[in-house]
A and B are shown apart, each in its own frame.
Chain A
Amino acid sequence: MSPVSFKLAEMESWNRPPVVEPHGEGELLEIAMGPHHPSTHGVFRMDLALDGERVVKLKPVFGYLHRNHEKLGEGHSYLASMPFTDRLDYFCSLTNNWAYALAVEKLAAQDVPERAEYLRVILAELTRFQNHASAIGFLLQEMGASGTPLMYAFREREKILDLFEALTGARMMCNYMRFGGCRVDASEDWLKQTRKVVAGLPAFVDEFEAFLQTNEIVMARCQGMGILRPELAVNAGVTGPMLRATGVNYDLRKVDRYGIYDRFKFRVPLGEHGDIYDRYMVRMLEMRESIGILEQALKDVPGGPVMDPKAKIRNFRPKVGEAYGRIEAPKGELGFYLISDGTGNPYRYRVRPPSLINLTVLEDMCLGQNVADVVLIFGSVDIVLGEVDR
């Protein structure tokens, strides 16, 4: 019998992962799950200690995709970093663009014209929709529903990616927003096409719900699994759907009201138990709210320029100072912290990655559960390794 020493247990802090005592005799099995495990969505490793099927220790290991994104940002001009932000969370490049543009606009006190604000909201909500749909698809994939639900989600995602391609020229690496607006204007045709796609989205959500909501396997494997307590979620800086599934009402679209989100009517879906099923439900309901926002935004897109004519593109040198801008990205709070020293490159360029910080509580959620459920719990966090490792 090998005694496992838990150094963390010696800490008195209440916010540490609990200590799980192994049952009975026998040795603990230590396995490395990943970095090429199909459930890890990329290159990510979990070092597990198992007592039979039960997890008694879990340590996440990062860095396989580390590119030192922040150092790259310091070596490039403000504008040149914009395409790099696409590569953070490559499912949601447009919200990454927006977060970075927002931080720079704060740094340089730059205004954004009406039409660009509307386009930003439309693109961000489309991004949120396709991210949540694929996240649920991947979750089902990990539950053993190999391929089919994911393809239902990807069918819808494809339509949205086609819209992105028509507007920005790229399906995933959009590089669309600029400091003080957007790169190109949307044609009437594009708006018409978008309205058509958005009109078809509720039917997809209905269909998805009919298949999944009361599905016996989904309920058996998700309900009461991977519970996260609200006080720990707040303390550990968990944000996004994962936080709201625990019942904490904190959505930056309501709190900060960045952009023009104060003009739209929408509700913030909240969970009650903080388990996998609640996370799934919150994403499902958020998709419906996104459709509502899209319908309102598409109704009255104003005319006018998409770039502030006074905005400086070349030779952009913000005054000495610093700014922290954040938005509600599909995965949580995405923030950019910039320090300007008056030159063309930022002195410090920092990304606050929601994916990485949401993983802080992974161990707490998985301890004491079966190893097969670790896959599900991990899938319900919804991460992209490009953003975790940067």
Chain B
Amino acid sequence: MKTVEEIKASIEAAVPGAGVEIVQNPGPAAQHSLLLTAEKAVEVAQFLRDDAELALDFLSNVTGVDWLDKEITEKVKVTRTVAKTVDGVEQQVEETVEEPRKRVEPGRLEVVYHLYSMSKKHGPVILRMRTGNRTDRVELPSMTPIWRAAEFQEREIFDLFGVVFDGHPDLRRILMWDEFKDHPMRRDYVEPDDYDYEPTPHDEVLAKAKAHQEKLAGTAQAAEGDAAR
């Protein structure tokens, strides 16, 4: 089977402007992956499936990964002018110092596809796609028209991670119920305490919901008190 570098080269030869990058896997499994751009992803996928040598006809696994905003502290060299007394004379001197600076790398949602070939019996080739951020730019192209195997798995990612797949024929929630609002597999998901939407509230859930209602009533009362004053 071709190496990731060779696959990248053949993709670039077949799909101009594909913009494929290799994502290294530092672990001992060393399953490196190819990062696709959203614009060219479907074209690249079609090439991978139909190319006679690669013939990646079997999409085994589709999954999402949530990467939160990451705060990175790094040292940056800064040049500035400072007033200094040199040999008893006050001078303006340029000085370079290293300063720690915090940078926030924006979070994103990632979708990972594991491809194998049933006819050639090789694999895996791993594809990744990344969304712009985690809130409003979460659209990615759907692979369901290329591999039907993605149908339920992309629905699951839409349900649990909140990635919206363009071109998916039937994008609905699959495991959670339709009225559910959040995406439970996100790293920062907080279990709600109201359970208004729970289909059959009981015992503990009911107690929690009651506590929540009381809390709400308490805040409402306090607000009323504020208004009266």
Residues of A with Cβ closer than 8 Å to B? 7-8, 11, 13, 15-16, 62-63, 66, 68, 70-71, 106-109, 232, 234-237, 248, 250, 255, 318-324, 326, 333, 335, 337, 339-340, 347-348, 350, 352, 356-357, 359-361, 389-390
Q: Give chain A nearest CB distance to B30 CB in angstroms.
A: 8
Residues of chain A within 8 A of B144, CB atoms compared: 13
Instruction: Report the bound CA distance from A323 to B173 in whole Å.
Output: 28
Residues of B with Cβ closer than 8 Å to A? 25-29, 31, 57-61, 63, 65, 112, 114, 118, 121, 124, 126, 144-145, 147-149, 151-153, 160, 169-170, 173-177, 184-185, 189
Instruction: Report the bound CA distance from A389 to B31 in whole Å.
Output: 28
Assuming the contacts A234-B57, A235-B147, asked whether A321 and B177 have C-beta atoms less than 8 A apart, the reply is no
Secondary structure class of chain A's binding surface, majority of residues: mixed
Pair A11/B169 contact, Cβ less than 8 Å: yes
Pair A335/B174 contact, Cβ less than 8 Å: no
Instruction: Report the bound CA distance from A340 to B31 in whole Å.
Output: 13
Q: Give chain B nearest CB distance to A47 CB in angstroms.
A: 12
Q: Give chain A nearest CB distance to B178 CB in angstroms.
A: 10
Residues of chain B within 8 A of A15, CB atoms compared: 145, 148
Residues of chain B within 8 A of A107, CB atoms compared: 27-29
Instruction: Report the bound CA distance from A16 to B144 in whole Å.
Output: 10
Residues of chain B within 8 A of A66, CB atoms compared: 175-176
Pair A237/B149 contact, Cβ less than 8 Å: yes
Given A106-B28, A323-B29, A337-B114, 9 additional A-B pairs, CB 8 A: A107-B28, A236-B147, A237-B59, A237-B60, A250-B121, A321-B28, A323-B27, A337-B112, A389-B175
Pair A360/B184 contact, Cβ less than 8 Å: no
Residue with the highest number of chain B CB atoms closer than 10 Å, among A8, A68, A107 = A68
Pair A71/B184 contact, Cβ less than 8 Å: yes
Pair B184/A7 contact, Cβ less than 8 Å: no
Kindly report which residue of chain B lies nearest to residue A350, judged by CB atoms: B63
Assuming the contacts A234-B57, A389-B175, asked whether A13 and B145 have C-beta atoms less than 8 A apart, the reply is yes
Pair A7/B61 contact, Cβ less than 8 Å: no
Residues of chain A within 8 A of B170, CB atoms compared: 7-8
Residues of chain B within 8 A of A390, CB atoms compared: 175
Residues of chain A within 8 A of B169, CB atoms compared: 7-8, 11, 13, 16
Instruction: Report the bound CA distance from A361 to B148 in whole Å.
Output: 9
Instruction: Report the bound CA distance from A389 to B148 in whole Å.
Output: 19
